[in-house]
Amino acid sequence: MKQAKKNDVIVTQGVTKVYAADGIPVNALAEIDLTIRSGEFTALMGPSGSGKTTFLNIISGLDAPTKGKVWLSGRVLSDMSGNELSDFRRDNIGFIFQAYNLIPVLTVEENVEYIMLLQRVPKAERHERVTAMLEAVGLQGFADRNPTQLSGGQQQRVAIARAMVSEPAIILADEPTANLDSKTGAELLAMMNSLNLETGVTFVFSTHDPMVMESARRLITLRDGQIDTDETKYSG
């Protein structure tokens, strides 16, 4: 049985996902073996139906494979109970979504600190970390605003701050630039790249965006639920 090495933050072995469509089994993923190491900036690309989002859901523990195993930071997801998996996901994974998924009745600061509330981080530390993270994403002075007062790009900056502030090992980003104009998307990609290099947090993107593909230092193409190509362009 394969074991994850120290610097391997995501390892999949034989990961397969089968759905039933009108009673007919359909392979969304087929026998995927993949290792992503700490600090990588990786993009998953492929046509619609290639399995990108399904794969993200499985490596995050939001969905379970039909067969195969997933290790995150050395832990086997299938060995955890439901509560253990929820706590592990809360403490180790940050999520960035296409639709931002901010809570409209909360301020920017309250949205960013939300995961830390669940982690029972003391109030003074929460405030300090939120202030530093909002500065890092270029939103100084926005802490008391509501999401409805922000542009799409600013809302995605809040979502990135929320994902980063709890200091996860992994950020999973599902089409994070899809709702943004090209200039804003490029700015946010540059910012995420800088955060990746400065903090060592591992980024994995699911994307159709050529800018994300260009920015990624590793590019994995999925086709028909399998890895078609896996290219490391450069490091650092």
What mean pLDDT comes out for the span 101-125? Answer: 93
Rounded to two decimals, the pTM is: 0.88
Q: What pLDDT score was predicted for residue 125?
A: 95
pLDDT exceeds cutoff 80 at 2: no
Residue spans per domain, the chain: 38-65+76-232
User: Rounded to the nearest 5°, which phi and psi values hold at 66?
Assistant: -65, -40
Mean pLDDT of 197-214: 90
Question: Nearest to residue 191, comparing CAs of 142, 139, 148?
Answer: 139
For a pLDDT cut of 90, what percent of the chain falls above it? 61
How far, rounded to the nearest angstrom, does the alpha carbon of residue 194 sit from its chain's CA centroid? 16
Residue 209: pLDDT band with limits 50, 70, 90: confident
How far apart (Å, rounded) are the C-alpha atoms in residues 45 and 52?
A: 7
Higher pLDDT, 16 or 209: 16
pLDDT of residue 1: 45
- In this structure, are residues 96 and 168 in contact, taking their beta carbons and an 8 Å threshold? no
Tell me the average pLDDT of the chain.
90
Q: Domain 38-65+76-232: state its class.
A: alpha beta
Give the model confidence (pLDDT) of 144-180 as tens digits. 999 999 998 899 889 999 998 988 999 999 888 888 8
Position 122 confidence tier, pLDDT thresholds 50, 70, 90: very high
The model's pLDDT over 38-86, given as tens digits with 9 standing for 90+, comes to 999 999 998 888 888 899 999 999 999 999 999 999 899 999 998 999 9
Looking at beta carbons, which pairs linking 86-93 to residues 24 or more positions away fall under 8 Å? 88/61, 89/60, 89/61, 89/62, 90/115, 90/118, 90/119, 90/166, 91/119, 91/166, 91/168, 92/168, 92/169, 92/170, 93/60, 93/61, 93/168, 93/169, 93/170, 93/171, 93/172
